[in-house]
Structure 1
Amino acid sequence: MRKKKTTDPSHPPADLSEGKEKLRLKQEVGLMSGMSLIAGTMIGSGIFMSPEWVLYHMGSPASSLLVWAACGVLATFGALSYAELGTIIKESGGEYIYILRIFGPFPAFLCAYTSVILVRPAGLAAMCLSFAEYAVAPFYPGCSAPQVAVKCTAAACILILAVINCLNVRLATSVMNIFTAAKLLVLLVIVVAGLVLLAKGQTQSFQNAFQNTTTSIGAVGVAFYQGLWSYDGWNNLNYVTEELKKPEVTLPRAVMIAIPLVTCLYLLVNVSYLAAMTPSEMLSSGAVAVTWGDKVLGNWTWLITLSVALSTFGSSNGSFFSGGRVAYIAAREGHMPDILSMAHVRGLTPSPGLLFTAAMSIIMIISGTFTTIVNSVSFITSLFYGTTISGLLYLKIKKPELPRSYKVPIIIPIIVLITAVYLVLAPIIDQPQTEIFYIILFIVSGIILYFPLIRFKCHPRFLQRVTLHLQLLLEVAPVARDAN
């Protein structure tokens, strides 16, 4: 790892950016691709798997719909807050780079360490496992697919995504655009069919709709975890700020178009599910979208299975696209091994960071369940979302003179911060879970590693030779910085 100059949070430069790149990633992400990255990543396996879990934890159809709506509002508020940060700190890296520039290297390292090794690979693994479940299902009619087949398919999915994203940015964004259009078409089919069912009088699920609503703060928190998982990806554009065309315009516009669109679709899709099924049928369904297809489409149910597989693949591509950038940016700042900070000499893609994310994701698919991964990832992301939003509030109050082309009303980040604190504390207080304990231990291990590796720069010498060999093998070069 290299020694990097960090910014003193009490004396930030004019735009909180440390310097200009001699070698830049290509700026090929425009408004349409930005919207596709947000919507394409958000619309994945969640809307096809989470509705039954939100209903389970909330206890009633009406309260579950309120959670879906609230999650959409929170995602929009969070994205608008991040849009302002993106116009102040015009660097890729999302939460990591914002925490680094505002609070310094120690909390930023914990964010990078947790995101690069655990959060991003685990989230990608969960999406690819969902893809695999639906992709192999037609080959095993009437029975569950063997786990070996599912996991091998998930690993193959990750490898395909790695190839696509390592070749060039334009290919990756083209895949996002195509799959986003396809999944939006599928959701529109579900919405229209649901409206037809409602017009025919199938409204039994909406009678006494608030009956059995839970009052447990822990259950509500877990319901939000499941709902917010379906909105995960609302912040993905901030991970690729340096690759945006006119980021000060593209970032807020893409957010304000994509997230409200996805929120409306999610609400209407949930209404369609409830129109076709009773709450008890939804709760007993292993795959709510497939059960909906059996009831509404009959022999054409295979279209839903295919659509879910395609949707999840597209979402995995968006998550992979942004996730590799986190490793790249963290390494560029000296918080990860040097090799991850390099870009391919011809494709100008952060291929080492992408390959590392792929390798960690393949390891993740070996164990873990969908709900365990979702709850674990949601706990950590809520923690770092809260830290990032508190940084925005600090800049708005203490550094109002910093140039920014977009400003969000201060009440919006305050609401997001309060919600993030609630989502971190509520499940711990009301329903403590084993995986949260392991996550805390993992974060503590990052604290232990920080001092010898980052603070005191105790690096084994053989890493330099390993880095050189990998550099030659992968055909990558460092992204150099000019001094301020």
Structure 2
Amino acid sequence: MDNPGFHTNDEVDLHKRKGGAEQPHHSLFKDTGVSDSGTTTPTSNGDDGSRSRSNSDDATSSNPRNDGLERNVSTPNDALHLERRVGLVSGVALIVGTMIGSGIFVSPSTLLVKTKSPGLFLVIWAACGLLSTLVLSPCVRLAAGLHIQLVEAFVSECEPPIHIIQILCVAIIGLITFINCFSVKLATKVQNIFTAAKLVAIAIIIAGGLYMIGIGNTQYLSQGFEGSTTSFGDIATAFYSGLWAYDGWNNLNYVTEELKNPFVNLPRSIMIGIPLTTACYVLVNVAYLAVLSPTEMMESEAVAVTFGTRALGALAWLMPLAVCISCFGSANGTLFVGGRLCYVASREGHLVDVLSYVHIRRLTPSPALLFNSAVALMMIIPGDIASLIDFFSFTAWIFYGAAMLALIVMRFTKKDAPRPYKVPIIIPVIVLIISVYLVIGPIVDNPKIEYLYATLFILAGFLLYVPFVYYKKVLPGMSYITTFLQLLLEVAPSTAMAED
């Protein structure tokens, strides 16, 4: 729903969501040829705007500031919006690259502690992949937090000071933010390269594990389900660890506006990306168990590093490097899509308007990206990855369950609504039941204060929603803040892109 409470008094309703006519207002970007309504005005260099959009994009030489990563001059009636620059390969890389982060290198130990047997351990890894596919089938649109565990590779006998780790995290988040604000093409190229690199690292782990199995090292795998846990809460929290490693399965949904041929490439990317990641995760954990005992895995702070030390010999240094590459690529992809989530929420009136603005040349949602990075920086402060995983997973599955419930309700209340992607009603019903289990199970089995904090954090959202969205209250001084940020960041209001 639209939220005039966050709009400034002199702004246009950018997307005419209520069908009203656009009102004239002062442009902040006369000299650039882009007005803050998302259209262009004649520039002072005599450009009459007669060239088409495609021609202006090709003629990069006519704009000395154009480095191939930003658009050239705009044309009259050329609405400012994000462009479709994400293809099938980049879509798959975005899914795989954000799913494969630090989880597969870190959480196997936590999950094995909960399951207590190799058999149940592998079953839950595979079940997490299946559950990720089921949840994604109804096209859930929910927030995914930025993975900040970027330095798990540096596991040594002497642990680095926590403030050094936090400073490194800040620097890396800053670098990733710059890349994503600078260019969509650059961000997707980085994602493609790092996804390919982490798949190579995973292939090395799998190859090493298969070699060990080939020479008969199967004593740990043969233990099967011996000693498996029967605890209701342990199984739920084991899913937390596994699903955290799978987080990112829904990220491509956030960038459908920039995805080429979305009705074809979105399902194709999903059907390639999630099964590929699931296969990688199961085979990697089989490889771990071919080299390490369950006890060694449970005691390891970074299972991949321990595996490398035992199996790769002189090449053991590849595993810490792989963890760094994997985490950087995952963080890059998560910021890429996380910024789009804030961007769309703002455009729909649920956040301040400036977050829906786009850079006038780069065509990147830089305000939303900066806001998302600021939230990520706040997550660094606690310095406890285990609590962060529990906090995020508990909160996320509340919303995943709510989304499934909303889908079931709309199947009956909005029967004639357009459905580009339709799934059997049984799928959201199953996911809703699983969501309830994953939320209630840990609370019943082992109540923690973190769950109360997460619940209060969610309820606190009503303190903002009720006055500013429901009652449409206006914050004083927002027009001055918006104007200042618009000039500072060189951004202008955008429009939604028409469906292909």
Would you call these one fold, judging by a TM-score over 0.5? yes
Q: Which residue of 2 aligns with 1:91?
A: none
Match of 1:427 among 432, 442, 455: 442
Q: CA deviation at 1:73?
A: 0.5
Query: Hey, what's the Cα distance between the residues in 1 that align with 2:412 and 2:383?
Result: 42
Query: Hey, what's the Cα distance between the residues in 2 that align with 1:362 and 1:405?
Result: 37
Q: CA deviation at 1:143?
A: 1.1
Q: Which residue of 2 aligns with 1:228?
A: 243
Q: CA deviation at 1:389?
A: 2.1
- The answer as to 2:456 corresponding to 1:451 is no
Q: CA deviation at 1:2?
A: 2.3
Q: CA deviation at 1:265?
A: 0.8
Q: Which residue of 1 aligns with 2:91?
A: 34
User: SS in structure 2 opposite 1:477?
Assistant: strand
Q: CA deviation at 1:457?
A: 2.9
Q: Which residue of 2 aligns with 1:131?
A: 150
Query: Hey, what's the Cα distance between the residues in 2 that align with 1:293 and 1:481?
Result: 48
Match of 2:291 among 269, 273, 276: 276
Q: CA deviation at 1:459?
A: 2.9
Residue pair 1:22, 1:481 contacting (<8 A) in 2 also: no
CA deviation profile, 1:446-471 (whole Å, cap 9, x unmatched): 11222222222333322221111111
Q: Name the % identity.
A: 48
Q: Which residue of 2 aligns with 1:363?
A: 378
Query: Hey, what's the Cα distance between the residues in 2 that align with 1:33 and 1:184?
Result: 14
Query: Hey, what's the Cα distance between the residues in 1 that align with 2:17 and 2:493?
Result: 18
User: SS in structure 1 opposite 2:223?
Assistant: coil
Gaps of at least 5 residues in structure 2 are 1-5, 19-77
Residue pair 2:162, 2:383 contacting (<8 A) in 1 also: no
Query: Hey, what's the Cα distance between the residues in 2 that align with 1:481 and 1:184?
Result: 35
Query: Hey, what's the Cα distance between the residues in 1 that align with 2:469 and 2:213?
Result: 59
Query: Hey, what's the Cα distance between the residues in 2 that align with 1:448 and 1:131?
Result: 33
Structure with max Cα Rg:
2
Q: Which residue of 1 aligns with 2:165?
A: 150
Q: CA deviation at 1:430?
A: 1.7
CA gap 1:481/1:302 in 2 versus in 1, 3 angstroms: closer
Match of 1:198 among 190, 200, 213: 213
Matches within 5 A, 1:395-434: 395-434=410-449
Q: CA deviation at 1:316?
A: 0.5
Matches within 5 A, 1:168-317: 168-317=183-332
- More displaced stretch, 200-209 vs 182-191: 200-209
User: SS in structure 1 opposite 2:363?
Assistant: coil
RMSD over equivalenced CA pairs, Å: 2.1
- The answer as to 2:131 corresponding to 1:80 is no
Matches within 5 A, 1:312-331: 312-331=327-346
CA gap 1:24/1:76 in 2 versus in 1, 3 angstroms: same
Residue pair 2:117, 2:226 contacting (<8 A) in 1 also: yes
Query: Hey, what's the Cα distance between the residues in 1 that align with 2:457 and 2:193?
Result: 38
Residue pair 1:133, 1:145 contacting (<8 A) in 2 also: no
Residue pair 2:101, 2:330 contacting (<8 A) in 1 also: yes
Q: CA deviation at 1:480?
A: 4.3
User: SS in structure 2 opposite 1:207?
Assistant: helix
CA gap 1:457/1:402 in 2 versus in 1, 3 angstroms: closer
User: SS in structure 1 opposite 2:492?
Assistant: strand
Q: CA deviation at 1:371?
A: 1.1
User: SS in structure 2 opposite 1:197?
Assistant: helix
Query: Hey, what's the Cα distance between the residues in 1 that align with 2:169 and 2:496?
Result: 37
User: SS in structure 2 opposite 1:50?
Assistant: helix
- More displaced stretch, 394-403 vs 185-194: 394-403
Q: Which residue of 2 aligns with 1:65?
A: 122
Q: CA deviation at 1:355?
A: 0.4
Match of 2:391 among 376, 379, 382: 376
- More displaced stretch, 171-180 vs 400-409: 400-409
Query: Hey, what's the Cα distance between the residues in 1 that align with 2:222 and 2:495?
Result: 63
Q: CA deviation at 1:338?
A: 1.6
Query: Hey, what's the Cα distance between the residues in 2 that align with 1:254 and 1:320?
Result: 19
Query: Hey, what's the Cα distance between the residues in 1 that align with 2:174 and 2:199?
Result: 25
Query: Hey, what's the Cα distance between the residues in 2 that align with 1:221 and 1:157?
Result: 32
**More helix by percentage:** 1
1:441 maps to a residue whose letter is L
Q: Which residue of 2 aligns with 1:159?
A: 174
- More displaced stretch, 46-55 vs 447-456: 447-456
Q: Which residue of 2 aligns with 1:389?
A: 404
Query: Hey, what's the Cα distance between the residues in 2 that align with 1:403 and 1:207?
Result: 50
Residue pair 2:81, 2:496 contacting (<8 A) in 1 also: no
2:442 maps to a residue whose letter is P
Residue pair 2:391, 2:451 contacting (<8 A) in 1 also: yes
Q: CA deviation at 1:223?
A: 0.2
User: SS in structure 2 opposite 1:245?
Assistant: coil
CA gap 1:281/1:472 in 2 versus in 1, 3 angstroms: same
Query: Hey, what's the Cα distance between the residues in 1 that align with 2:368 and 2:184?
Result: 14
Residue pair 1:133, 1:150 contacting (<8 A) in 2 also: no
User: SS in structure 1 opposite 2:387?
Assistant: helix
- If asked which structure has higher relative contact order (CA below 8 Å, sep 6+), I would say 1
Query: Hey, what's the Cα distance between the residues in 2 that align with 1:199 and 1:346?
Result: 56
- The answer as to 2:48 corresponding to 1:43 is no
User: SS in structure 2 opposite 1:191?
Assistant: helix
How many residues get paired? Answer: 429
User: SS in structure 1 opposite 2:228?
Assistant: coil
Q: CA deviation at 1:398?
A: 4.2
Q: Which residue of 1 aligns with 2:109?
A: 52
Query: Hey, what's the Cα distance between the residues in 2 that align with 1:345 and 1:375?
Result: 40
Q: CA deviation at 1:308?
A: 0.7
User: SS in structure 1 opposite 2:419?
Assistant: coil
2:478 maps to a residue whose letter is L
